[in-house]
Chains A and B, each alone.
Chain A
Amino acid sequence: MSEIVSLLAVFPDIDPAAQAVDELRRCGLEDGDINVISGIPVTEAMLGRPRQWSNVPRLALGGAVAGFLIGMFFAFGTPTLYPIYVGGQPLYPGAPSVVVLFEMTMLGMLVATFLGVFLDSRFPSYRPKEYVPQISDGKVAILFRCPIEKQERAIQALFALGAESIQPAEAQVL
């Protein structure tokens, strides 16, 4: 089995980076071996990359359901646990319960959405990572893993497309 190397190519803009992704595919690299890092949200469509999977919407839905159930407990469970009739009002009033259900559902959904970003992005993560600070200055970097025998061809192709630098991807403290 051939040795795999990790490389980080830095491009000045999105267009050459998008072409570079195509070129790497032509070199025989799989989409899973390529990751684009940028200082602005560059969509999959711009790069011609497969759609990224995100659990955030599902987690948000799960959070909403959990929040709703907690709201149900507050609105209907707590008066059942310790019934107190206040001013002749019903123990399980409809409209006032809607308020509690709404607030708890929204709270559950938003907290789950927030935590979803942390879970899906594996935040916080302070271990060293492959990165160059020029990325936050507007450069677009392509981090890719390729068999050593394809390395030369990939490097030549990426330089031809306008790569400013291609270097072995070394993890560094951010």
Chain B
Amino acid sequence: MSEQKTLYSPSSSVAHSGDDELEHLRREHLMLDPRPRGEMNAMVMEAMLTTSWKFKLVFAFMALVVIVCLFGVWGYLIAEGIGVAGLTNPVYWGIFLVNTVFWIGISHAGTFVSALLRVFKAEFRRPFTRAAELLTTFGLVQAGLSIFFHMGRVWVSYWLFPYPNERQLWPNFHSALSWDFLAINTYLLASTMYLFLPLIPDLAMARDRSTGWRKVFYRILSLGFRGTEGEWTHLRIAMNIFAFAILPVMFSVHTIVSWDFATAMRPGWNSTIFGPYFVIGALQSGLAAVAMVLVIVRSTMKHMTYFIREEVFDALGKLMLVISMAWAYFFFNDYMVQWYGGDQFTEKLLHFHEAGPLGWMWFAMLIFNVAIPWLTLWNRKIRRNPWALFAIGLGVNVAMWLERYIIIPLSLTINFMPFTWRMYVPGVEVPLGIGTLAFFILLYMAASKLIPLVPVWEVQEGQLAHTVRRVGKEVVVSVAEME
């Protein structure tokens, strides 16, 4: 039997500095390169508290865009009515709902990355789960706003709430739109709680290291957390329940969003595969968004090169490749069955997608969603290059937005009544869409200065669980099961 000798335990800081292989492993993996907890705390706090002039400039610009494009134009929409949007017969669902579906898709990434990787104990997740979870919460805010724009008469949005009106008539809970309300709100609540629970110990850490208004802020939010055995036990159990339970909720949300379309007897929409096709599309755009955000966080915030290493981009790149293949599979499945069906209106719609005036969208969707990821992400060097991954992720997100545009306004153009066919020309939807994007960036920037973006306690827990040992002549990394 071969000898299995522990070379060093990262937590004990006993290392064989002369060993090149160990040095390489340490450079490569955050879990094998521990620093004292106090130092890691200080790094995360410094990243949070340091604000450059560039940050302030971008923040001010985003705030201006939000004021003008979001609140200004929304006010105009409310004052003038929904007629200032480009919605008209036959396209009553336009960019507002394209953006709703797009942002819900983006929001899937945080939960997928955080919960699924937590369930499967994927160690590379530890430094960036929070950065991903923030995507979920802020993405859902934009999705909700886009629904409000679409409503037009936003002041009666409370009609969606499940309560009876003056005539004791309840909303119809068997309608896909009621499911949307329940599913999106369930997901928003669940993802916010899931973001907050693991944040409590880090807020307590920030409380211990802050003064002034920040001390008060963190003191209130950390709820009096000290780290007693009981507090950790309740937190650990709750996080396990959340990690398992939030995944089916995540799947249900985009499935229900897809049913808004699939339950209608329309060409291009009435497809039984729309549920999983939408879910995989959401993961496709969401994972790409996580990669993009991590690249920006890593390159703009202090000390983040220590926490977010190339191993993270490597792993995300692999996931993006697998999800891209799955998306292509579902896309082809949907396309193939509709094409084979032979319905004349569906045929016309498919032809319109590919060869109509916006046919370039259909080809761009396939190029950026399939061709480019497949041609690039198999390559380890490209996956480990953060800016290359950023560019691929940007392409994927543009492609996924185009996909939603093709599914919604473009598909609504072709229906069973040819005399109504008419192209959709957006109006205030464009500035409002830009406004939601700016609002998302603004919220994320604000959060990066208010809450610790790296879950330090999770990183330290992971480092404690890792050891390096030699099996025969090979140096291998071992991870202990600590829960």
Q: Is A159 an interface residue (CB 8 A)?
A: no
How many A-B residue pairs lie within 8 Å, measured between CB atoms?
A: 194
94-111 of chain A: CB within 8 A of chain B = 96-97, 99-100, 102-104, 106-107, 109-111
23 contacts between A and B (CB under 8 A): A35-B229, A38-B227, A40-B461, A49-B229, A54-B233, A54-B237, A74-B170, A79-B174, A82-B168, A99-B179, A99-B252, A102-B252, A106-B245, A110-B189, A113-B238, A114-B196, A117-B197, A118-B223, A126-B219, A135-B208, A136-B227, A138-B36, A174-B222
Q: Is B18 an interface residue (CB 8 A)?
A: no
124-149 of chain A: CB within 8 A of chain B = 124-127, 129, 131, 133, 135-138, 143
Residue of A nearest to B208 (CB): A133
Interface residue from B170, B193, B228 paired with A82 (Cβ < 8 Å) = B170
- Asked if A52 and B164 sit within 8 Å, CB to CB, the answer is no
Alpha-carbon distance A99/B257, docked complex (angstroms): 12
- Asked if A106 and B249 sit within 8 Å, CB to CB, the answer is yes
Q: Which residues of B contact A129 (CB under 8 A)?
A: 224, 226
Alpha-carbon distance A137/B227, docked complex (angstroms): 12
Residue of B nearest to A135 (CB): B227
Alpha-carbon distance A35/B231, docked complex (angstroms): 11
Alpha-carbon distance A107/B184, docked complex (angstroms): 11
Shortest distance in angstroms between A91's beta carbon and chain B's nearest beta carbon? 9
Alpha-carbon distance A75/B193, docked complex (angstroms): 26
Shortest distance in angstroms between A82's beta carbon and chain B's nearest beta carbon? 5
- Asked if B190 and A106 sit within 8 Å, CB to CB, the answer is yes
Q: Is B464 an interface residue (CB 8 A)?
A: yes
Residue among A109, A110, A116 with the highest chain B CB neighbour number at 10 A: A110
Q: Is B31 an interface residue (CB 8 A)?
A: no
Given contacts A82-B168, A116-B238, contact A39 B457 (CB under 8 A): yes
179-236 of chain B: CB within 8 A of chain A = 179, 182-183, 185-186, 189-190, 193, 196-197, 201, 204-205, 207-209, 219-220, 222-236
Residue of A nearest to B230 (CB): A52
Alpha-carbon distance A111/B237, docked complex (angstroms): 14
Given contacts A106-B248, A110-B193, contact A39 B233 (CB under 8 A): no
Q: Which residues of B contact A168 (CB under 8 A)?
A: none
- Asked if B207 and A57 sit within 8 Å, CB to CB, the answer is no
45-100 of chain A: CB within 8 A of chain B = 46-47, 49, 52, 54, 56-57, 60, 74-75, 78-79, 81-82, 84, 86, 89, 93, 96-97, 99-100
Interface residue from B186, B225, B482 paired with A123 (Cβ < 8 Å) = B225
- Asked if A39 and B223 sit within 8 Å, CB to CB, the answer is no
- Asked if A100 and B227 sit within 8 Å, CB to CB, the answer is no
Shortest distance in angstroms between A85's beta carbon and chain B's nearest beta carbon? 11
- Asked if B208 and A43 sit within 8 Å, CB to CB, the answer is no
- Beyond A54-B237, A75-B174, 6 extra complex contacts between A and B, CB < 8 Å: A39-B227, A103-B183, A113-B241, A117-B234, A129-B226, A131-B226
Q: Is B339 an interface residue (CB 8 A)?
A: no
Q: Is A120 an interface residue (CB 8 A)?
A: yes
Q: Is B357 an interface residue (CB 8 A)?
A: no
Alpha-carbon distance A79/B169, docked complex (angstroms): 9
Residue among A41, A54, A136, A143 with the highest chain B CB neighbour number at 10 A: A136
Alpha-carbon distance A127/B190, docked complex (angstroms): 29
- Asked if A138 and B197 sit within 8 Å, CB to CB, the answer is no
Alpha-carbon distance A109/B249, docked complex (angstroms): 11
Alpha-carbon distance A78/B170, docked complex (angstroms): 6
Given contacts A39-B460, A103-B186, contact A174 B207 (CB under 8 A): yes
Q: Is A37 an interface residue (CB 8 A)?
A: yes
Interface residue from A56, A100, A110, A131 paired with B179 (Cβ < 8 Å) = A100
Q: Which residues of A contact B230 (CB under 8 A)?
A: 35, 52, 54, 120-121
Q: Which residues of B contact A44 (CB under 8 A)?
A: 229, 233
- Asked if B182 and A121 sit within 8 Å, CB to CB, the answer is no
Interface residue from A36, A41, A99, A103 paired with B236 (Cβ < 8 Å) = A41
